[in-house]
Amino acid sequence: MMWKRINPVMLAALALLTAVPTILLAAEGGAQTHHVHLAASNASEAVKWYVRHLECKSIEERPEAINCGALEIEFVVRATLGGSPGTGIDHIGFSFADLNAKMAALEAVGVRGSGVRLQRFEDGATLRQAPGLFEYGFIFDPWGTRIELVEDPETLGFHHIHLHSADPDAAIAWYHRVVGGERAKLKGQLDGLLFGTVWLFVENHPEGGPASTYQRSIDHLGFVVADLDVTAVRMAGKGVDLQELRAPANGRSSAKRAFLSGPDGVSIAIVERGWAGVVPEKLLAVDNRIPREPYPTPRTPWGEPDLQGIWTGNAAHGIPLERPVEATQNKTLTPEEAAARRERGTLGSIWGYEREWRDTTLDYAKLAPSRQVAMVIEPSNGRLPAMTAKGEELAAAALAARAYRRLAEGPEDLSTYVRCITRGLPGLMMPGIYNNGLQIIQSPGYVAITKEMIHETRIIPTGEHPRGPDLKQWLGNSRGRWEGDTLVVEVTGFNGRASYRGTGENLKLTERYRRVGPGTLEYEFTVDDPTIWETPWTATFKFEKDDSQYELVEYACHEGNYGMTNILSGARAREKQIKEPAGT
């Protein structure tokens, strides 16, 4: 909110509107704010985020809702059309006793691993002062909701709901007439409606009319009344019709709920006292077991097993390489556990990306996340084998050399991934938050495998082709052969400059590609580097066929590699700061 004083003409108009009778203020004492309904990729991870960062409380037996003091926040897992800015509900607000400390703590956590993104003003600051009111700043949750943080010790916790409107005067009059609220001034300056301790503000939309809240990250506002049937009669008498007035079939109580459309495309729910939300639909599961009956792999016109098509690793994103120690007895995850795990993986790697980049969120991925516990299948405990003494030495040196632990002097100090060179093997095959496309094209004696991330294409001979010169390459030298319906690819001749977990020039990688169903490609790989590990190890995951909707896009990494520029310029700025401390 760009806090400012209301002009005298608006004040006069608002004063006149206070005389308008409200529909709900009679016997039931008016409606009160009850909840804000937010869309998220995963409800359980959204709950954890708000509990951790905004000090809300989880609600027992309601895993999709939280109590933020003055009202509840309910989460729904579904597709969205974008974040809250620009809609009729631009943002929600929370108040803290020490905003500077709170914002500093959020900035210290950073975007990675938590999904907290701070909005900076034109001068680079995260906080501003509203004269006569308080300091304020903005953050975004990982699912697109804009959140204002203010310092108002008189009202801590959930503080306000901020609407945008093409006609703020008419909008605030409508809310006062239909849902009630007390006309009041925040700190004697800012006009709004007060529902208990929650403020409702309406500000002019900067570009005329705001977008509808339908399927945006803040989907609707919820108000509570004593008797919804009585309320519906009163509203009908004033020309306001309620829709879907009933107790939902999957409701946790017998309380009824209805919807109506507010000004500027704002969706509003009216619920009865005792409302406890709805039980979310069960998530679909992906069966990760290999079919008991062998799958008859289709053949190419020249008689080889046909692996061609566009495949995606979206469903496999979130599977850890190693089996977590606490999950050693689990054979598979529940669908809910798998969804939460994938969301944690997404949050841990978004680096401030907008949700539109995140292919693996539940609202963009067509397939439910895999329930596979871990990728490693050999050793049988799902853990990597012991490292050699040399491997431990190299691992420690690599950790110390990582650019985020020190200031990068130049591009060479950054990974080949950041430098847009390659992810290496088998790293490039691993699923991530986006660009998980895999395309396979075959011809007699050759298989071409294209991975979408950093546009890697490998041409793999499968026939009796003469070996070329013994060159060391980023992705090594691949030679393929068919073992029944399985494509086996042996890769040697690595240059060691695109290491995977310490692998070097002595790495021998053996890959196996096999169709285990009409839409499932099993990928298995064995890593054998005696310099690093005492024994070889094997891992596996699956790609799903998606010719109908998935299209590999150009990965123009160098053209848009702002990360490189910012990392190096940030390092130079930090060096200057260290050399010339502030105040010297």
Determine the distance from the C-alpha atom of residue 489 to the mean position of all C-alpha atoms in its chain, rounded to a whole number.
35
Query: In this structure, are 261 and 386 located in the same domain?
Result: no
Domain with residue 98: its CATH number is 3.10.180.10
Type of residue at 498: A
* CA 16 to the chain's CA centroid: 45
Residues 251 and 314 both lie in one domain: no
371 and 504 both lie in a single domain: yes
**114 and 209 belong to one structural domain:** yes
Asked whether residue 383 is domain-assigned, the answer is yes
The DSSP H or E segment spanning 43 is helix 43-54
The residues pairing with 161 across neighbouring beta strands, listed in sequence order, are: 92, 200
Would you give the distance in Å from CA 212 to the centre of its chain?
Answer: 22
* pLDDT number for residue 207: 79
Give CA separation, 201 vs 140, 172, 186, 470, 475, in Å: 19, 8, 10, 71, 58
Is residue 287 a part of any domain in this protein? no
Cis bond leading into 379, ω under 30°?
yes
Give the range of the structural domain holding residue 361, as residue numbers without chain letter.
309-560
Preceding omega of 426 cis (within 30 degrees of 0): yes
Give yes or no for a contact between 509 and 425, defined as CB atoms under 8 angstroms apart. Answer: yes
Tens of pLDDT, residue by residue over 104-153, are 999 887 766 667 888 889 888 999 999 989 999 999 988 889 999 999 99
Q: If we measure between CA atoms, which residue out of 183, 229, 179 comes closest to residue 25?
A: 179
pLDDT at 82 (0 to 100): 81
Q: Has residue 435 been placed in a domain? A: yes
Give the total residue count for the chain. 584
The answer, as to whether pTM is greater than 0.85, is no
Check residue 145 and report its DSSP letter.
-
Low-confidence ranges of the chain (pLDDT < 50): 1-29, 403
Same domain for 444 and 524, yes or no, is yes
Residue 207 lies in a domain: yes
What the block records as the tokens of 358 is: 């995140």
217 and 361, same structural domain?
no
d(CA 121, CA 433): 29
Distance of alpha carbon 72 from alpha carbon 252, whole angstroms: 15
pLDDT at 22: 38
* Per-residue pLDDT at 24: 43
Identify whether 498 is part of a domain: yes
Residue-wise pLDDT tens digits, 23-41: 443 334 467 889 999 988 8
pLDDT at 23: 41
Q: Do 192 and 47 share a structural domain?
A: yes
Is 581 part of a structural domain of the chain?
no
208 in Cβ contact with 220 (< 8 Å) = no
Residues 264, 351, single domain; the answer is no
262 close to 174: Cβ distance less than 8 angstroms: yes
464 and 387, same domain (yes or no):
yes
Domain identity same for 403 and 262: no
Confirm whether 17 is domain-assigned: no
Contact 288, 542 (CB under 8 A): yes
Q: How many domains does the chain have?
A: 2
Can you give the pLDDT at residue 144?
87
Please give the angle made by the CA atoms of 331, 335 and 338, to the nearest 5 degrees: 75
In a domain, 282, yes or no: no
Is there a single domain that holds both residue 437 and residue 361? yes
Do 267 and 323 belong together in one domain?
no
